[in-house]
Chains A and B, each alone.
Chain A
Amino acid sequence: GEDVEQSLFLSVREGDSSVINCTYTDSSSTYLYWYKQEPGAGLQLLTYIFSNMDMKQDQRLTVLLNKKDKHLSLRIADTQTGDSAIYFCAESWGDYKLSFGAGTTVTVRA
């Protein structure tokens, strides 16, 4: 796989915006993904971006992609307590395979 790095923890106040950052190494990745894992559950796809796009917006979620710097970010607007979870960045490589970061634990405080 390839190396995907992200910070491990983020604490945010309810109602504020959250920004989770990720760097990846494989410049040939076709897609980059954000997955969400709630306690005791598997991962669920939140959103993804095609590598020829710079930005994708989906309701409260905004994904920014800087291919030059191999940097991906996820912004969650108006963060709610239900957004508390682990968020994984992932890049595609090879045949249908994904390489995941270590995950960012987001804690939303009142």
Chain B
Amino acid sequence: IAGITQAPTSQILAAGRRMTLRCTQDMRHNAMYWYRQDLGLGLRLIHYSNTAGTTGKGEVPDGYSVSRANTDDFPLTLASAVPSQTSVYFCASSDSSGSDEQFFGPGTRLTVL
């Protein structure tokens, strides 16, 4: 593994189903983030974690939950998916030093029907 990986690459999901998007980084970054990307809206922050064991809400947290049991993993869970959660989801990480550059994963394309 090099950088950030996300799984699955894409998923079609029935409304009401539970879904967990996985994110793993091997850079030992302390901060991690989940964004959703929608056409014309750019990237919006869903949840973030400044360090293992802590999480925080971003701009659009409703309907999503996260956990940060260790440094490397930051899963995003949709407890009961709705069509408005159809989007491309990006995980990112940063080491919270210097320029605070965020490194992005390749994204998960989620369609909720």
Interface residues of A (CB under 8 A from B): 1, 4, 8, 30-31, 33, 41-45, 48, 50, 88, 92, 95-103
Contacts and interface: CB of A to CB of B under 8 A. Distances in A.
A41 B43 CA distance: 14
B45 A97 contact: yes
Contact of B45 (A1, A30, A31, A101): A1
Contacts of B103: 45
Nearest to A44: B104
Contact of B102 (A4, A95, A98): A98
B96 interface: yes
Q: Which of A1, A41, A98 has the most CB of B within 10 A?
A: A98
A102 B50 contact: no
Given A95-B50, A96-B94, A42 B100 contact: no
Contact of B104 (A42, A50, A99): A42
Contacts of A30: 100
Interface string B11-26: 0000000000000000
A42 B92 CA distance: 9
Interface string B81-95: 000000000101010
